[in-house]
Structure formats: C-alpha cells, structure tokens
Structure 1
Amino acid sequence: MANTFKALVAEKENENLNLHVKEIEPSDLPEGDVLIDVKYSGINYKDGLAAHPDGNIVKEYPFIPGIDLAGEVVDSSDNRYRAGDEVIVTSYELGVSHFGGYSEYARVPAEWVVPLPEGLTLKESMILGTAGFTAALSVQRLEENGLKPENGPVLVTGATGGVGSIAISLLKKKGYQVVASTGKTNEAAYLQQLGAAEVIDRNEVYNGKLKQMDKQKWAGAVDAAGGEPLAALLAQMQYQGSVAVSGMAAGVNLPASVLPFILRGVSLLGVDSVYCPMEERKHIWERLASDLKLDNLEEFVYKEAGLDALPELLPAVLESDHLGRMLVNVEE
C-alpha cells in the first residue's frame, strides 16, 4: 500500500461546502477491521445530499462520501477475510458517518463486508450498488407476500431512476408484465428496452386528486415516490396486492385511506437496504449473481467517471435528469 493515496474530500467552511480530490494517508482513515483497495463505487441520491451544504446527511467534516464500494481486501484483523478477497460494502454508516467509497482505500468494520458472490464482477456489483440491491430486495418482499406473474401487471414508479430501472429488468426476468410509470415518457423506448411492457405517464397514477378507493389495476408495485402518489397507488391495487416502498421523492407524508387495507387486503411493504440483516443481505447479493442476474447490466450505466469528475457530478445529481446508474471507476 502506498504512503499516500487519492480520495474525494468534502470540507465545510461556514456555509460553503468544498469538494476536491486530495492525497491522504492511511492514518487518515477511520478505524475498522478490513482495509480495502477500492476499485469501483457509484453515485446515489444520498451521495448528492452528502455533497450539498444543506443535505443533512454528513454530521462532521472533513469527510469522504460514497455509500457504495467494491474492491479487494488488503489487510484484515477478522479471520473471515484475507488479502485478495473481493468484497462489497454498501449501506450501514458508509458514506454517512463513516468515510465512504470515494477513495482509493477504505477501512470498514468486518460486519459490513459482503463477499463478492460467484457470478458477479466487482464492476457489475457497483453497476447494481445500493439501487440494485434495493430493487432486488423489493422484488423479494413482493414475492414473499404472494406476488406471482399470473396475478397481473406490476407497476414500477420512478422508472428511469436507479431503483426503478433495475426493478423493471428484474421483474421482467422473473416473468412479470411490467408497467413503467414516469415523468419522462420521452424515454419510453429506453424503459421498453429494459423490459417494460407498457410505459405510462405518472399522472395516470396520480393526477393531483386522491380517492379513497379507485379502479383495481395492479397486482404489485415497486414504489420510489412515497407521498401522495403512493396514496393514490394504494387505492388502485388489486385484491391482496402489495406495494414495496423504498423512496420518498414525492414526500414523507402519506395521506392514505385505510379502506384499501381492510376492504382489499392490500399490503404496504417497507424496504430498508441500510440495516438489512447480513444473512438476508448476502442472500440478495447471491440472487443478483444467480436467478436475478441481469444480462444487460451495462445498459444501466449512464456515465462512468473517475474521482476527479466527482466535484462536478455530485452537486448536480439532486437535479439531474440522467437515466439509470452513474458508475465511479476509482482507479481511472
């Protein structure tokens, strides 16, 4: 390991947040059991918040963002991991209160580390990242609650985003009829390429008016919106349909009626990728390398960039209109 290495460092001065790539030393890294030579990371909405002065994600500066990373173990005090092991780390406090993946090296607790499953490369794991993991966890929650392809169409909201776009392909792979809801209907061809049988404007799900009960349309749904659009969606679910919710792009309040729950037996399934138990976390990654392995992973990469591009890319991600995933090649 080199005496110094590159990392993207966020530093706050008064109300200003400065992002720059600088040389740091191994002693600058936080304590942890496993030292990782980071190969890839990704850009997520939460990473954009970490790069914003009012993002309310990072508590102390200076800080290294990046809630995802994949790389090779350099050193480990935990006998479960040895030098050369390929590993994934996502969620927990990574990139929030613990230095994250935008660094050539990272040191993390062993309890956060997932062995890279056979069938996935390090690059593929970060094309998926937290977004892909959340999408797969959503699909599993729906299937555990009884969703089957023969039950009817499955709606995916926020379809051009990271979670939504990958959820479309995962559901298609499992044989579901997928309907993609988006505010970017001009990207219908892209969504159909990913596996959507139909693309609808998000106003067809929520037009600004809420009903306690609406026409039954969807056997299941993967929702990244939350708020009033989720309330409208719940009223449209089929009998014993279920919604897996993982986002709050449209707000945290849910002005919904209880009627879909007690008259149609609708289920609202919360999806948390941050503190998902390790046994289940490993199982989801194993599925992403096997029965949920996607052949079109490269199609999700909107942009691949190195650390030097992050000071420009991160502040824009909160308002970006990009499709799919942005991959960070740490060694580039």
Structure 2
Amino acid sequence: MGTFKAIRIDKAGNGTTVALTQFDEAELMDGDVTVRIEWSTLNYKDGLAVTGKAPVVRRFPMIAGIDFAGSVEASSHPAWKAGDKVVCNGWGMGETHLGAYAEKARVKGDWLVRLPEGISMRDAMAIGTAGYTAMLSVLALERHGLTPKNGPIAVTGAAGGVGSVAIAVLSKLGYYVIASTGRMSESGYLKELGAAEVIDRNELSGPAKPLAKERWTGGVDSVGSTTLANLLSMTKYGGAVAACGLAAGMDLPSSVAPFILRGVSLLGIESVMCPMPLRNAAWARLASDLDHGKLAEITEEIGLDQVIAAGAKILAGEVRGRIVVKIL
C-alpha cells in the first residue's frame, strides 16, 4: 500500500475544503476492480463538487470526479483482468464513492464499460458523462419515433459539453439542428459542429406561454427551468423533449398544455444509475455516430492541478465544449 495524487474534498464547518494532495491507498473503498486512471474529464457536476456550490458530495473524505478511463490493475471480478481498458461514468463516483480525480480507483466491476473499439481513452473522456448523456438523449428521441424527416431538433446550452456533443451527433445523423446559446459569439463554433441555426437563449428565457408557435419537433435540454418550459411550449404536435440538466434551475414553470393539447412528451434522461444494456448501447453509438474530428475541435486538455480552477469556470459558463484531464 502506498499513496497517490488525488483531489480530496473534506468537510469544514458549514462548507468544504478541496486540495490536490496525496491520498492513502488504504483509504480506498470496497470494490472488486482496481484501476490505474489515465484520463478524466470535467462536467458541470464536478464543478459543483470542487467549488462546494451545491451539496453534491455525500461522504467525507471524498475524491472528486465522476468519469474515468484507465487500465485494470487488479481484479477479482470475472469480467475483467489486469490490462483491460475500461471506462466508468457515474454510479455515485465523486458523490458517495471515491471518484476519478486520482491516479487510482477501486470500484465494482459491474460499473465498468469496456473501452469501445476505435475510441482512445482520451477521446472517451472528451465524451465523458456530458457526451454519454447527450447520446442517451438522442436514443430517447429515437425511441419516441423521431427521425430527421419529422423536423428540426432544438439543443439548449448548446456551447456546453452536452450541447456540443448533441449537435455533433444529431447533425451527423441528418437532423436540422437549432442551437440555443447565451454566447452568440460562439455561433461560428456551433455551426462548425453542425448547427443549421443559432438562436439567442433570450428567445427561451421569458415567462413561458402555455402554448407558443410550433418551432421544432423535439429538443435536448440541459438547462431546465424557464428554458425547458419555453422549449416545450414551442414543440410541434407529437414531438418530444429530452431533459437531462438543470444549469438554470430545477424548477419547471410550465403547464400541462403541451402535453394534453399537442401530445408532446417530456423524456427524462438519467445517466448516473443507467442500466448497463442502455449504457453499452450509448457507448457503441458514440463510437459510430460521433465525428472524432469534431470531438477533437471541441476538446481542451488540462492537468490534475488545473481542475479546481476549471471547476469554477464551468459554473460561470466560461467553458466551451469539453475539458479532458490528463491524470498520468
């Protein structure tokens, strides 16, 4: 047993402290697979955890980070052996289970996904929970029966991680994508990803009417609150919106009108405890339906020592696309 570098969060009075420090391997939690982490990523939830802006962390001490890619170091799980390349997203990592901003993790083998063919560990973390959530949203819209022939798809929070990957995937699949952003200066970036139109988020930020003019057949929303309410009110008859985030809040100041007068469906997207068959399906589709050239264009790389500062930036809306964290 030894120590390894990790971003550790501790309880301090009514708040928390966070620091990059040495963590004792003896403090790792129970699990049947030990992984040497090579890459992680930065998600909105990670920003909340490292800044203490929301009570994401449920036990202390905690190692932050909800995503990792790495190599199995030791395993007593029948599905995994030393040297296997694996990805892990969610399952309470960084919240109730020691997480990914570390050189080592011990987790349940049932949480792991084999690194898909054709995706590097770095690319897997450029995708991360944000991209995997975007794909879960696309799969939900497809299960609802939507196709490019049905009409436009709106993507809110478009310059963020979920939005960027959603645009890249949807455009490659042939959808006409309308990107909503609070940073109109990023219009060029969003069109390069595949957005056909870019609209100012102010168009979706006012009080929502019960029903507004029909503008799109569906949507991927990572914002919540009034934005989601407006998105629903403007969705065409029989359409659907996949809700997967709460950047603007957990409330939903809407009415039942879109649901009972236009037959609109609100599809909830949950990524943390997502069943393994759907999880594997999402990663398989990401391997085939995400342009890796576009993925590279939206990705910035930082080191473990830069995560805490970057966490504050993602909460302030100052991060475009995806950030990967090089661990080793």
CA offset at residue 16 of structure 1? Answer: 5.2
Which residue matches 1:242?
A: 240
Q: CA deviation at 1:244?
A: 0.5
CA 1:173/1:70 → structure 2, altered by over 3 Å: closer, same or farther? same
SS in 1 for 2:34: strand
> In structure 1, what is the equivalent of residue 113 of structure 2?
114
- Equivalent residue, structure 2, for 1:71: 70
Separation in 2 of the partners of 1:158 and 1:256? 19
SS of alignment partner, residue 326 of structure 1? strand
How far apart are the structure 2 equivalents of 1:316 and 1:117?
A: 30
Q: In structure 2, give the amino acid aligned to 1:107.
A: R
Unaligned runs of 5+ in 1: none
Quote how far apart the aligned CAs of 1:287 are: 1.0
Paired residue secondary structure (1:51): helix
- Which residue does the alignment assign to 2:319? 322
Which 10-residue stretch deviates more, 282-291 or 125-134? 282-291
2:305 is equivalent to residue 308 of structure 1: yes
TM-superposed deviation, 1:123 = 0.7
Q: Compute the displacement of 1:321 (Å).
A: 1.2
Q: Residues 51 and 314 of structure 1 are in contact (CA less than 8 Å); yes or no, is this contact kept in structure 2?
A: yes
SS of the residue corresponding to residue 272 of structure 2 reads coil
Give the C-alpha shift of residue 173 in structure 1.
Answer: 0.6
Query: Which secondary structure does the structure 1 equivalent of 2:237 belong to?
Result: strand
Deviation at 1:54, TM superposition (A): 4.5
SS at match of 1:260: helix
- The aligned counterpart of 1:220 is 218
Higher helix share: 2
The alignment partner of 2:51 has SS state of coil
Deviation at 1:293, TM superposition (A): 5.0
Aligned residue identity for 1:44: N
Trace 1:131-280 onto structure 2 (pairs within 5 A): 131-206=130-205, 208-280=206-278
Residue 281 of structure 2 corresponds to which residue in structure 1?
A: 283
* 1:327 positional shift: 0.8
Contact 1:185 1:201 in 2 (8 A): yes
SS in 1 for 2:260: helix
- Displacement after TM superposition at 1:261 (Å): 1.3
Q: Percent identity?
A: 48
- Aligned partner of 1:89 in structure 2 is 88
CA-atom RMSD in angstroms: 1.5
Structure 1: distance between partners of 2:75 and 2:287: 25
2:207 alignment partner AA: K
Moved over 4 A (4+): none
Residue 198 of structure 2 aligns with an amino acid whose one-letter code is V
Tell me the SS of whatever aligns to 1:19: strand
Query: In the comparison of the two structures, how many residue pairs are matched?
Result: 328
Residues 137-184 of structure 1: CA deviation (Å, up to 9, x unaligned): 100100110111111111101101110111000000100010101111
Q: Is the 8 A contact 2:225 2:251 kept in 1?
A: yes
Is the alpha carbon distance of 1:320 and 1:259 closer, same or farther for their aligned partners in structure 2, counting shifts above 3 Å? closer
Q: Which residue of 2 aligns with 1:55?
A: 54
SS at match of 1:251: coil
Query: Could you tell me whether the CA contact under 8 Å between 1:4 and 1:24 is conserved in 2?
Result: yes
Flag the 1:253–1:19 CA change in 2: closer, same or farther, 3 A.
closer
Match runs of 1:18-29 below 5 Å: 18-29=17-28
CA distance in structure 2 between the aligned counterparts of 1:322 and 1:316, rounded to whole angstroms = 6
8 Å Cα contact 1:131/1:162 also seen in 2: yes
Once the two structures are superposed, residues 68-98 of structure 1 have per-residue CA deviations (whole angstroms, 9 ceiling, x without a partner) of 0000000001010000000000111111111
Gapped regions of structure 2 (runs ≥ 5):
none
Write the deviation string for residues 183-206 of structure 1: whole angstroms up to 9, x where unpaired. Answer: 111110010011101101112234
1:267 Cα deviation after fit = 0.8
Aligned partner of residue 295 in structure 1, secondary structure? helix
Cα 1:182/1:316, change in 2 over 3 Å: closer
Question: In structure 1, what is the Cα distance between the partners aligned to 2:21 and 2:73?
Answer: 21
Q: Encode CA deviations 1:102-123: one digit per residue, 9 max, x unaligned.
A: 0001000112111111121111
Conserved 8 A contact 2:180-2:201: yes
> What is the identity, as a one-letter code, of the residue corresponding to 1:258?
V
C-alpha separation between the residues in 2 aligned to 1:310 and 1:202?
Answer: 28
CA distance in 2, matches of 1:217, 1:26: 54
Structure 2 vs 1, CA of residues 295 and 68 (structure 1 numbering), >3 Å: closer, same or farther? same
Query: 1:90 and 1:250 mapped to 2: Cα distance?
Result: 23
Matching residue of 2:12: 13
Write the distance in 2 (CA, Å) between the matches of 1:87 and 1:99.
Answer: 17
